Amino acid sequence: MAMRTTTGTQAEPTASAIIGAAARLRRADPCPPDRVAAALARVAEQWRDEQHVFRHETVAELSAALKMTSALLDESLTALLEPLTAPALESLALRLYRVNRLFGFVMPGNVPGAGIHEIAAALLAGAAVILKSASRESVFFGNFLGSLTATDPAVAARLEIVSFSRNESEAMGAMWAACEGGVVAYGDDASLAALAAAGPASAGRFAGFGSRLSGALVALDTPEGARPSAAADAAADGLARDVTLFEQLGCLSPHHVFVLGGAEEARGFAARLFRALERLARRLPPPARLPLGAGAAIRGLRERARWRALAQPAGAAAANEVALWESDGPTVIYDRSAVFSAAPGYRTVFVSAIDSIDDLGARLGPAAGKLEAFALAAPSDKRRPLEDYLRRLGATYVCEPGRIQSPPLDWPHGHGGMFALLREAAR
């Protein structure tokens, strides 16, 4: 298979192209961290303008390739780039080990731009980077590099982009051999295990970001019989945004919302969340047609929830066990006692009640050991102990609803695997 690069040069066999890219990167002098921070901040600022030529072209191409609407992609990319500010980049640069080594990055194809935080950290640390773009999504980083080249060619010279199949063993072998600093990879657990097995035996040279799940906790203490507060409205609106961005396909997208309180309160919040998702869908329309697998999975979930709701015995208490809200876009399934459930994406959310905060730990199910982020809606005087509890359960990032897609640059994604790799390489 041939390799495509962003330089527009004639394609070469992949292994020799990777060797050539590595040689060019080693000849490029490292830039001072303040210069790297300034260049990245400038590019991020340019990309916040939806009409910036590289961003505009990226959204147009990705909309066609990933079947996401332009409006949804625009808002998703704005959230993704929000943490890349000059102060944040400069602050992170001061705290990183200096590492003048070559690293490889194997990028995911489900979320455009995913991994930008780790790429920024590597460049700030002084590393050079060979980035293998996903075959399904080879647009974002190529255009981002185009902006970086136009802004500061010396900083851009520390990053090269290649494209080949993960199954191409000769190319992956060349990448492993070239990247003495290590290889960072994104994907599901099976694909990461295959990549790690194909590389050097030293586990210290590999950081993998595998299958991870995010959720939400709503603990607003609405008194029994009271009308839901403005805080409940804000939580629903924020979670609707968290779920909608990137069509719920990334590791930071919430799948399951747990409501601390009774069944009636949780069921009421599920209805509220569905209305918030519907309102947002008018501004950020869902795809006209879902991928076959996702569409079939969502239909199956809806049918099972519908029949379970119909099979409930009569009575107010029974009606609070299972409920379904659905439309041409969002799906909200209220299942009072469910364990953490992974959704198929595309604005599909589970909502359940928990009687106490300790109940959440017992309900993690398949998310145990795989938690990434949790959105938390809680009064300010109760927030800290709940945050601490979520982190003990394994969440690497806890935030207000509406902020989950914009983690800080020093967020320890996957429990800090990338930062550990930089430390190891600096020894």
138 pLDDT band, cuts 50/70/90, is confident
Closest CA to 253 of 30, 406, 62: 406
pLDDT > 50? residue 3: no
In CATH terms, the superfamily for domain 14-211 is: Aldehyde Dehydrogenase; Chain A, domain 1 (3.40.605.10)
Helices marked H in 311-399 = 357-362, 380-393
Question: Which phi and psi angles does 337 have, rounded to 5°?
Answer: -110, 15
Element (H, E) at 351: strand 348-354
72 pLDDT band, cuts 50/70/90, is very high
Q: Using alpha carbons only, what angle is made at residue 85 by residues 104 and 107, rounded to the nearest 5 degrees?
A: 25
The alpha carbon dihedral of 223, 224, 227, 231 has a sign of positive
Tell me the CA distances in angstroms from 293 to 103, 179, 182, 298, 299, one per residue in order: 34, 36, 34, 9, 10
The pLDDT score that the predictor gives to residue 13 is 65
Question: Which phi and psi angles does 352 have, rounded to 5°?
Answer: -140, 160
Confirm whether 14-211 and 213-399 share one CATH topology: no
The pLDDT score that the predictor gives to residue 297 is 97
Neighbours of 357 (CB within 10 A): 16
Distance between CA atoms of residues 307 and 216, nearest Å: 26
Please say whether the beta carbons of 358 and 217 come within 8 A.
Answer: no
119-128, 144-153, 181-190: the lowest-pLDDT one: 181-190
31-35, 87-91, 126-130, 174-178: the lowest-pLDDT one: 174-178
Question: Which phi and psi angles does 211 have, rounded to 5°?
Answer: -65, 120
* Phi-psi group of 369: left, alpha or beta (phi > 0 → left; psi -120 to 50 → alpha; rest → beta): left
Contacts for 349 with CB less than 8 Å, ≥ 6 apart: 239, 243, 254, 255, 256, 257, 273, 277, 330, 331, 332, 333, 343
The alpha carbon dihedral of 51, 111, 283, 41 has a sign of negative
For the chain, the domains span: 14-211, 213-399
Distance between CA atoms of residues 160 and 156, nearest Å: 8
Output the pTM of the full model. Answer: 0.92
14 pLDDT band, cuts 50/70/90, is confident
pLDDT > 60? residue 31: yes
Q: Which residue has the higher pLDDT, 222 or 375?
A: 375
Express each pLDDT in 323-342 by its tens digit.
Answer: 999 999 999 999 999 999 99
8 pLDDT band, cuts 50/70/90, is very low
Fold of 213-399: Aldehyde Dehydrogenase; Chain A, domain 2 (3.40.309)
The pLDDT score that the predictor gives to residue 313 is 74
- Classify residue 305 by its DSSP letter: H
201 pLDDT band, cuts 50/70/90, is low
Please say whether the beta carbons of 83 and 117 come within 8 A.
Answer: yes
The pLDDT score that the predictor gives to residue 9 is 39
